[in-house]
Amino acid sequence: MFPLTISKKISISVLIVLVLSVSGMGWLTVRSLQSGFNAYLRETQEIELQKISRAMSGYYRDNGTFQSLQHNPGEVKRLIDRALSRLPADAQPPDMPPPEREDFERERLNPEPRADGRREREPPHERPRRPPPERLSGDDPRQRPARDVFEIAPRISLVDAQGVGIFGPLRAHQPSLKAEVEVEGKKVGVVLAPLPQFALEKVSSDFVRSQIRQITLIVSCFIGLAILVSIWLGRHLVKPIAGLRKLTQQIAGGQFQARADVLNQDEIGGLAQHINSMAKALENNERKRKSIMADLSHELRTPLTVMRAEVEAIIDGVRPMNLDAVRSIEAEIHHLNKLVDDLHQLALADAGDLRFQFAQVDVADLLKQIGERFQARMQQAKLQLQVDVPDLPVMLNADAGRVTQIIENLLENSLRYTDPNGRVLIRLTRDAGLARICLEDSAPGLNDEQHQKMFERLYREDKARSRAKGGSGLGLSICRTLVQAHRGEIQASASALGGVKITILFPLLDVKRGE
């Protein structure tokens, strides 16, 4: 069994709806025509039945009985025709002689003249006699008199006041149209006529059938048009879907630069825009992946190369095996270990496996403790560290260890890249239900484009963020992941001190309880 495509499904669905609608409309039209025609016949024949009833009343008034109408169809026909103002079918004008008689009289009065000038009477020419009219056979529908449903006269029946039939096949207890015959307010009989049904009559049924045939023809034309429209509509609607299908196949094959043409502003156009956005995101992710793989391989190769060179130099006797050589190797091992540790943290964050222990944390007291631990290192690097926090507690629902990791990574960044004799400032404020932590340092600074890229993985600005400073390029990316896990925000901008300003927003604990 062949699967149905969307185009065929749409075509079949539209076709079914249109066929049912048009067929239902045609059926209702036919039923309305039949019922309306029967109602019209009934109303017309009831009017004629009243006329015949008045004629029968007059006949009874003149004769005092209906007995003379029994077995006298001619009298009945004349009485009904007179009531309906019709001329009997067998009546002929009295002044029209038969054609043979007229010819004979003309020949008799005008004989052909003889040679002597006298007219001689000759016998009349023998004319071929016209064949007698054929009798109509009741079995031949072409010769049978047309019985129209509009002609009520042949269907009339009459019963007297006791229900005894005078003429006609109908009786008072049968379902029929009825009109009472009254004389001076007394019921003397009932005129009956069968209920009109066009299906039982030849002339009327032919008319109705012709109308039904025309309606059927119109319905068939509409159904044919519906088939063409449904096929066109199905192909028209599916055409952009076919383009999107081809595009998704290209994206699945790795062609992330492929884009769909947005031709309409409907749902399919919206789908094309979403697919284009997805392709763009995949293209950016693929570019970042390649860049990360290249940077990561470089980051891993560099300490390994340095350690190998150190070991080979010691083995070859070029460098003596002393404490300085061991410390150099240990520094590279520490850098390599830090890089692997950061990668592990990011891998856990991507997999959603980072563990947090949320509790009530006074972030003001936490910042004071971190500042005290970094004071000695800042002074050693000839930097001035200032911590500006309010005296009152600032409570957060947070993991104290992860918040400490965020602040320490930022301070390590400032400690590593800020020029000597510079400043580092940590400020904590409340802002509309949020705890705002700002960490600023002095020169060197970055431009706006570099501020946007700071939180990308393995991103380092060559001049101010070189590897010689000891960074792996993953610390700020880890900070952003941890801040987002606390339902917070982090962003970078230019600092008034001449360096970089990092702003972190955390929701306060009292705001969360009030939600």
Q: How confident is the model at residue 363 (pLDDT cuts 50, 70, 90)?
A: very high
Pick the closest to residue 180 from 40, 61, 56 (CA basis). 56
- Please give the order of strands across the beta sheet that includes 157-160: 165-167, 157-160, 186-193, 177-183
Percent of the chain with pLDDT over 90: 10
Q: How crowded is the C-beta side of 247, counted as CA atoms within 13 Å? A: 22
- What token pair was written down for 514? 């009030």
Cα separation, 55 vs 37, whole angstroms: 27
Task: Quote the pLDDT of residue 151.
Answer: 62
Task: Quote the pLDDT of residue 367.
Answer: 92
Pick the closest to residue 122 from 130, 114, 131, 132 (CA basis). 114
Q: How crowded is the C-beta side of 333, counted as CA atoms within 13 Å? A: 8
- DSSP letters spanning 253-266: TT-TT-------SS
Say which residue, 57 or 234, is predicted with more confidence: 57
Percent of the chain with pLDDT over 70: 77
The stretch 7-27 carries a mean pLDDT of 76
Strand partners, 178: 192
Opening angle at CA 164, ends 160 and 167, nearest 5: 80
Strand partners, 209: none
Express each pLDDT in 441-485 by its tens digit: 998 888 888 888 787 776 665 444 444 455 556 778 888 888 988
Q: How confident is the model at residue 204 (pLDDT cuts 50, 70, 90)?
A: low
Task: Quote the pLDDT of residue 413.
Answer: 86
What rounded mean pLDDT belongs to the chain? 76
Express each pLDDT in 126-138 by its tens digit: 444 545 444 433 3
Cis peptide before 169 (omega within 30 of 0): no
Task: Quote the pLDDT of residue 138.
Answer: 38
CB 203 within 8 A of CB 146: yes
Task: Quote the pLDDT of residue 198.
Answer: 53
Task: Quote the pLDDT of residue 423.
Answer: 92
Cα separation, 254 vs 286, whole angstroms: 9
The stretch 324-343 carries a mean pLDDT of 80
Pick the closest to residue 154 from 139, 170, 165, 142 (CA basis). 170
Cα separation, 176 vs 170, whole angstroms: 8
Give yes or no for residue 71 having a pLDDT over 70. yes
Q: Could you count the other beta carbons within 10 Å of the beta carbon of residue 292?
A: 19
Q: Phi/psi of residue 21, each to 5°? A: -65, -50
Residue keyed to tokens 């015949």: 52
Least confident of 96-105, 155-164, 176-185, 296-305: 96-105
Give yes or no for residue 105 having a pLDDT over 50. no
Pick the closest to residue 160 from 56, 26, 252 (CA basis). 56
Helix (H) or strand (E) segment spanning residue 178: strand 177-183
Cα separation, 29 vs 36, whole angstroms: 10
SS3 of 242, please? helix
